[in-house]
Chains A and B, each alone.
Chain A
Amino acid sequence: SQQGEEDPQALSIQEGENATMNCSYKTSINNLQWYRQNSGRGLVHLILIRSNEREKHSGRLRVTLDTSKKSSSLLITASRAADTASYFCATDSGGYQKVTFGTGTKLQVIP
């Protein structure tokens, strides 16, 4: 079953603008990860944030985690056309450390 739900489902912005995607989940987690997927391709890991962390940065990416609200956000600053892709949050849950994915946000960056 899927753990997370993402919001918005689709987002269209102009190049140079910032893009924010939100992820909500239901149960306690060990960590939360964000992945990117270009159409019809495999997944690329972007960033991992642990349950005891509140914010993390990687290049133009900024991830926040609020375990009290069971939510996370991914901010992409100064977006580029090449950022056009689907973005998924994924949560670590269960004794086998399986990773389950959210519903995804489809981002379109218009040049």
Chain B
Amino acid sequence: GAVVSQHPSWVICKSGTSVKIECRSLDFQATTMFWYRQFPKQSLMLMATSNEGSKATYEQGVEKDKFLINHASLTLSTLTVTSAHPEDSSFYICSARPLSGGGTGANVLTFGAGSRLTVL
């Protein structure tokens, strides 16, 4: 089945540094990838929609200069948390939609395992 690999699975960094999280679709191509953020005991909040070859679409309230998203190929999207602060500590999850999305499977996203970011 479709697999999405997310790396790193956890990262600890100092305040003020930048952290990059990768999201790869391993066995399928994805024109669209989504980035979500999840605080403890809360639901997933969509941060942005990443489209291959174009600028990401950010949800209201998400700072695009702080959360840089790059979708350079049909199998890779990256999220960079710039100048991270303790309040950015969270669980970040990506998901990918297959390129050939016809029929029932059109909207079935495959999720990565998530990346837990802790900013000291």
Q: Which residue of A lies closest to B40 (CB)?
A: A40
Chain B CB within 8 A of A60 CB: no
Contact bitstring A78-111, B, C-beta under 8 A = 1, else 0 = 0000000000100010001111111110000000
- With A96-B49, A98-B49 in contact, do A42 and B107 touch (Cβ < 8 Å)? no
| Shortest distance from the beta carbon of A87 to any chain B beta carbon, whole Å | 11
Please, how many angstroms separate the alpha-carbon atoms of A48 and B107 in the complex? 9
Q: Which residue of B lies closest to A89 (CB)?
A: B43
Q: When the two chains form their complex, are residues B107 and A97 in contact, meaning their CB atoms are under 8 A apart? A: yes
Q: When the two chains form their complex, are residues A98 and B108 in contact, meaning their CB atoms are under 8 A apart? A: no
Chain B CB within 8 A of A33 CB: yes
- With A1-B60, A33-B107 in contact, do A42 and B114 touch (Cβ < 8 Å)? yes
Q: Which residue of B lies closest to A35 (CB)?
A: B111
In the complex, which residues 1-59 of chain B have their Cβ closer than 8 Å to any Cβ of chain A? 6, 32, 34, 36, 42-46, 49, 57, 59
Binding site for A on B (CB under 8 A): 6, 32, 34, 36, 42-46, 49, 57, 59-60, 91, 93, 95, 97, 104, 106-114, 116
15 A-B pairs whose Cβ atoms sit less than 8 Å apart in the complex: A31-B107, A40-B114, A42-B111, A42-B112, A42-B113, A43-B44, A43-B93, A43-B95, A45-B110, A48-B104, A48-B108, A92-B107, A97-B107, A101-B36, A101-B44
